[in-house]
Amino acid sequence: MQRTRVSTIATITGDRLGELFSNPWRRISLLLISLLFGIFVGQAVSTTAGQTSSWDVVVAGIILVFTEVINKFAYSKTSNSRSLLKDFLNTFKIGVTYSLFLEAFKLGS
């Protein structure tokens, strides 16, 4: 790949973010924010799709595909390294799944 200004900026930014989140407390804080954002998104999607009740099946399918793609990406055997992106997406997925269980318990179904 050629070294252009955009690729250099992307590389430098990625390296700086990697250094920034190499601190365990910052990494845990980012993962906690990811979990809470996943809970928020899960509740927002379920209440928005549940209002008209015509989008329930479509949204459930989209969430199922999203969850399976994240599982395939996060738990693949090709690379054993735990990257920040894998952890962030996996924690977001856990938050979405947890919020959907909470919504189901709230509705009594």
* pLDDT per position as a tens digit, 47-85: 888 787 788 888 889 999 999 999 998 888 776 667 888
Tokens of 3: 């070294």
| Amino acid code (one letter) for 36 | L
What was the pLDDT predicted at 44? 92
Q: Given a cut of 90, is residue 95 above it in pLDDT?
A: yes
Q: Given a cut of 90, is residue 18 above it in pLDDT?
A: no
Alpha-carbon torsion 81, 87, 105, 58, what sign? negative
Q: What is the DSSP string of 59-80?
A: HHHHHHHHHHHHHHHHT-SS--
Residue 79 to residue 60: CA distance in whole angstroms: 30
Q: Given a cut of 70, is residue 109 above it in pLDDT?
A: no
Identify which of 34-48, 50-64, 81-95 has the greatest average pLDDT: 34-48
Q: What percent of the chain has pLDDT over 90?
A: 46
What was the pLDDT predicted at 79? 64
| Amino acid code (one letter) for 17 | L
Residue 49 to residue 43: CA distance in whole angstroms: 10
What was the pLDDT predicted at 1? 65
